[in-house]
Structure 1
Amino acid sequence: MMPKIIPNISVDCVVFGFDANTKSLNVLLLDRYLESEENHEVLVNDYVLTGYHTLENETIDDTATRVLRELTGLDNLYKKQFKVFGDPNRLMNEKDVIWAKSENFNERTITIAYYFLVKTHEVDIENNQHKPKWFPVNDLPELGFDHKTIINEAYTDLKAKSLYQPIIFELLPDKFTIKELQDVYECILGVEIDNRNFRRKLLTKKYLIELDEKQVGVSKKPSQLFMFSKDVYQKIYKESYLISI
């Protein structure tokens, strides 16, 4: 027997992905589209976050993990539960009411919001049955429900956490250059960072391990590669700012 959903409790997931080619922080969204049965009039045509109702036999964390796995095929990624959204009017816009009726949603649904950090190339969009799309976090399309608010609050939390927790490394390959690390910081924080000061400060961090390797397959002079040591970080730091701007 399939477990029943809890009709007024859902989980919405903000999947952030860093694109190293475009140097942009992106959000994974789904197309929300609905036509009338009578004359095929377009009733709803916008984008939403991925969200599911929680099942009776699940914890909230279980639901979030299930959402991510079904959307991306990925597991064991950084995730952060950051807020509960329970405004009684959060599903009451005209398009949202139409959509809620078509999907038999409870109009008084409370959602627990999470965000995840992935590398965009790890998500196979081409062969994904849900047909998700990446959008730059600063250039989002029209969004349904209160999902713009959810994304904005997730982004605010991400910017704050990136200054005192090593979550930024979740968006980088295992081996990276100092410039690639700087690119991610600049992208997330929306600021320009002085190259020399950034390099000087980062090279004093014991959790950055310099490798006996350099970039390969680049046209310019290859840069030194580094890796992040989570073990070293946890031994040395309890809560320490990674950079100062």
Structure 2
Amino acid sequence: MESKKIKNISVDCVVFGYNTTEKTLNVLLIKRYLESPAHSEILVNDYVLTGYHVNEDETLDETATRALKELTGLSSLYKKQFKAFGDPDRLLNEKDQLWIKNEGFNSRTITVAYYFLIKTEAINLNQNKYHAKWFPVNALPELGFDHESIILEAYEDLKIKCLSEPIIFELLPNKFTINDVQDLYESILGIEIDNRNFRRKLINKKYIIPLDEKQVGVSKKPAQLYMFSKDVYEKMFKKNYLISI
């Protein structure tokens, strides 16, 4: 028997990924497209976050995990529930109303928002049925609903969280250079960091493990590779900043 949806409660998922080549923090969006019944007019053509209405027999976390797996094929990722959005006017834009009418949604829907951190190389979007695409968080396309506000709130939360927990390593490859870590912090926080000071502090962290490996396939002198040890971090965890910058 198919689970019954709760018509006015949904979950929206902000999926963050880091482009190590472009050095940009990106968000994964899906295409929202609607034509008139006669296919003579495009009514809606923009992007939105992935999300679902909550089923009566599942928790909010389970809905978020279901939405992510449907979009990316992955389920075991860092996720954080960060805010509920329930403004009575959040879905009253003309295009949103057209979409809601076509899909049979409730115009007065409260959504609980999560964000996920993902290694971009872990998913292949070439044949994604939702036409999912990465966009830099600072260069978003036209968005439906109130999803721009949701993304920006998730981004602000991520900025705070990345200074107190080692969550940025969820965005990096398993093996990385010190410069990779610095570039990611700079991309998230929108600041420049003193290279020598940052390097000294990072390599002194016991949970940053130097490897007997260096970069390959680079034109310049290959840099030392490191890995993050979650086990070591959890053993020595204290409620202080991961890195003081």
Q: TM-score, normalised by structure 2?
A: 0.97
What's the secondary structure of 2:118's corresponding residue? strand
Q: Which aligned pairs between 1:106-145 and structure 2 lie closer than 5 A? A: 106-145=106-145
Secondary structure at the aligned position of 2:15 is classed as strand
Partners of 1:230 and 1:92 in 2: CA distance: 44
3-state SS, counterpart of residue 201 of structure 1: helix
Shift of residue 237, structure 1, vs aligned partner? 1.8
Q: Which amino acid aligns with 1:52?
A: Y
TM superposition shift of 1:39: 5.7
Residue 164 of structure 2 is aligned to residue 187 of structure 1: no
* 1:121-155 Cα distance to aligned partner (Å, 9 max, x none): 22211021111011100000111111000000000
Mapping of residues 80-99 of structure 1, within 5 Å: 80-99=80-99
Task: Output the CA distance in 2 between the equivalents of 1:72 and 1:166.
Answer: 23
Structure 2 letter corresponding to 1:213: E
How far apart are residue 36 of structure 1 and its match? 1.1
Q: What pairs with 1:35-54 in structure 2 (closer than 5 Å)? A: 35-38=35-38, 40-54=40-54
Question: Which residue identity does 1:2 align to in structure 2?
Answer: E
Per-residue CA deviations over 1:146-195 (Å, capped at 9, x if unaligned) read 10000000000001000010100001111111011111111111111111
Query: In the aligned structure 1, how far is the partner of 2:137 from the partner of 2:229?
Result: 29
Q: Cα deviations across residues 87-110 of structure 1 (Å, max 9, x unaligned)? A: 111111111111111111101111
Report Cα offsets for 1:13-66 as digits up to 9, x if no partner: 000010111111111111111111146211111110001011111111000000
Residue 16 of structure 1 corresponds to: 16
State how far apart, in whole Å, the 1-side matches of 2:203 and 2:19 are.
24
What is the total number of aligned residue pairs between the two structures?
245
Give the deviation of 1:218 after TM superposition: 1.8
Residue 128 of structure 1 aligns to a residue whose secondary structure is coil
Tell me, in whole angstroms, the C-alpha distance in 1 between the residues paired with 2:71 and 2:17. Answer: 13
Q: CA deviation at 1:238?
A: 2.5
Q: Kindly report which structure 2 residues correspond to 1:188-207, keeping only aligned pairs within 5 A, or say none.
A: 188-207=188-207
5 Å matches for 1:142-181?
Answer: 142-181=142-181
User: What's the offset of the Cα at 1:120?
Assistant: 1.6
Bigger shift: residues 112-121 or 231-240: 231-240
Specify the code of the residue in structure 2 equivalent to 1:77. Answer: L
Instruction: Give the equivalent residue in structure 2 for 1:79.
Output: 79
Question: Match of 1:187, as an amino acid?
Answer: S
Alignment of 1:51-70 (within 5 A): 51-70=51-70
In the other structure, the counterpart of 2:226 is 226
> Gaps spanning 5+ residues in structure 2: where?
none
Structure-1 separation of matches of 2:227 and 2:12: 32
Q: Which residue number corresponds to residue 236 of structure 1?
A: 236
Q: Secondary structure at the match of 1:232?
A: helix
Give the letter aligned to residue 65 of structure 1. Answer: T
Residues in 2 aligned to 1:244 and 1:205: alpha-carbon distance in whole angstroms: 12
Q: Secondary structure at the match of 1:150?
A: helix
